[in-house]
């Protein structure tokens, strides 16, 4: 018997496929959220509690390069580059309406390029269902600047030959070079976030603390100390120039071991030269 194809009227009565139902729902969510959601230039997505996409505006579709019917088959986890341990927690916080800021994270576009975004997310009721609406701030240019800054840091500070650190207004270390970490006999990650008096204990045991003085008096503080590991150090603490970040002071320390050894060798050589001159003078007098 030849295959029977459904009549057009019968096809109209067939239930929509899962994909069609999701697209129809996504369009319904867009209509419910209104013209501002659809027309804003801020990329905005709507996801379920488990991360499945419920909808997205045109700005988000253009930003990621997906069509609406492609996106509704995915979850937000599919866009995240690298490990995703925090995603469930972030979704739960947004679903509950927790206003705590979310960290930036890398997302992958359809063409494989990486986009860095900071989500601002919260719950919204749509047709009796709680969904998460998330506006995505594009911070990719900022990350590019930071990456270039990291190259400059590597080229300048890491090869500086001196211990170097940046501290914030609470005197906590926010950046340091490997020379400083090696001098402290600590790992860089174990130093970050610690207060100066926890790390530079010999220096900051003095009262007032040189970092506090430099920040308060806006002047350079210089001193020589012997570290806990026996290194003679010359330490300079500078107040940071005005900046958009949170840097308050700059810490630079120079190991004086080589310099003092060189001074000792020069002093010894000078004494030998003086002794030679005295011996030559005595020999001349004896000859006379």
Instruction: Give the pLDDT of residue 2.
Output: 47
H-helix segments, the chain: 8-13, 18-33, 35-39, 58-64, 68-71, 87-96, 140-156, 178-184, 188-191, 196-199, 201-204, 210-217, 257-287
* For range 85-89, the mean pLDDT: 81
* For range 266-272, the mean pLDDT: 64
* For range 46-63, the mean pLDDT: 94
pLDDT band at 65 (very low <50, low <70, confident <90, very high): very high
* For range 265-287, the mean pLDDT: 65
pLDDT band at 243 (very low <50, low <70, confident <90, very high): confident
Averaged confidence pLDDT in the chain: 82
pLDDT band at 133 (very low <50, low <70, confident <90, very high): very high
* For range 143-149, the mean pLDDT: 67
pLDDT single digits (tens) 108-120: 999 999 999 988 8
Identify the weakest region by mean pLDDT among 68-77, 85-94, 192-201: 85-94
Of 193, 206, 189, 45, residue with least CA distance to 115: 45
**Is the per-residue pLDDT at 198 higher than 50?**
yes
What is the DSSP track for 13-46?
Answer: HSPPPHHHHHHHHHHHHHHHH-HHHHH-SS-EEE
What letters, b where the CB count within 10 A reaches 16 and e where it falls short, cover 89-114? ebbebbbeeeeeebebbebbeeeeee
Instruction: Give the pLDDT of residue 81.
Output: 87
Tell me the C-alpha to C-alpha distance, in Å, between residue 157 and each of 175, 211, 228, 244, 252. 11, 20, 24, 20, 10
* For range 128-153, the mean pLDDT: 79
* For range 238-260, the mean pLDDT: 81
> Of all residues in the chain, what percent carry a pLDDT higher than 70?
76
Instruction: Give the pLDDT of residue 46.
Output: 94
């Amino acid at each position: 018997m030849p295959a029977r194809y459904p009549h057009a009227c019968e096809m109209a009565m067939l239930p929509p496929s899962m994909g069609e139902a999701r697209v129809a729902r996504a369009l319904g969510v867009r209509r419910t959220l209104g013209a501002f959601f659809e027309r804003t230039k801020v990329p905005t997505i709507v996801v379920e509690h488990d991360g499945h996409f419920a909808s997205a505006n045109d700005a988000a579709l253009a930003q990621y390069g997906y069509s609406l019917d492609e996106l509704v088959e995915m979850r937000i986890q599919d866009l995240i580059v690298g490990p995703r341990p925090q995603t469930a927690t972030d979704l739960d916080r947004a679903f509950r309406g927790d206003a705590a800021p979310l960290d930036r994270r890398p997302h992958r576009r359809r063409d494989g390029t990486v986009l860095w975004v900071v989500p601002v997310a919260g719950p919204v009721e749509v047709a009796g269902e709680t969904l998460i609406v998330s506006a995505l701030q594009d911070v990719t240019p900022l990350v590019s600047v930071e990456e270039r800054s990291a190259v400059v840091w590597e080229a300048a500070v890491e090869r500086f030959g001196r211990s170097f650190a940046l501290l914030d207004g609470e005197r906590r270390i926010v950046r340091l070079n490997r020379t400083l970490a090696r001098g402290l006999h600590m790992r860089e990650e174990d130093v970050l976030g610690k207060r100066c008096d926890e790390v530079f204990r010999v220096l900051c045991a003095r009262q007032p603390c040189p970092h506090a003085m430099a920040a308060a008096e806006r002047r350079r503080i210089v001193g020589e100390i012997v570290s806990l590991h026996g290194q003679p150090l010359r330490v300079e603490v500078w107040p940071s120039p005005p900046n958009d970040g949170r840097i308050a002071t700059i810490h630079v320390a120079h190991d004086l071991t080589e310099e003092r050894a060189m001074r000792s060798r020069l002093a010894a050589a000078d004494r030998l030269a003086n002794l030679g001159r005295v011996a030559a003078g005595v020999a001349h007098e004896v000859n006379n």
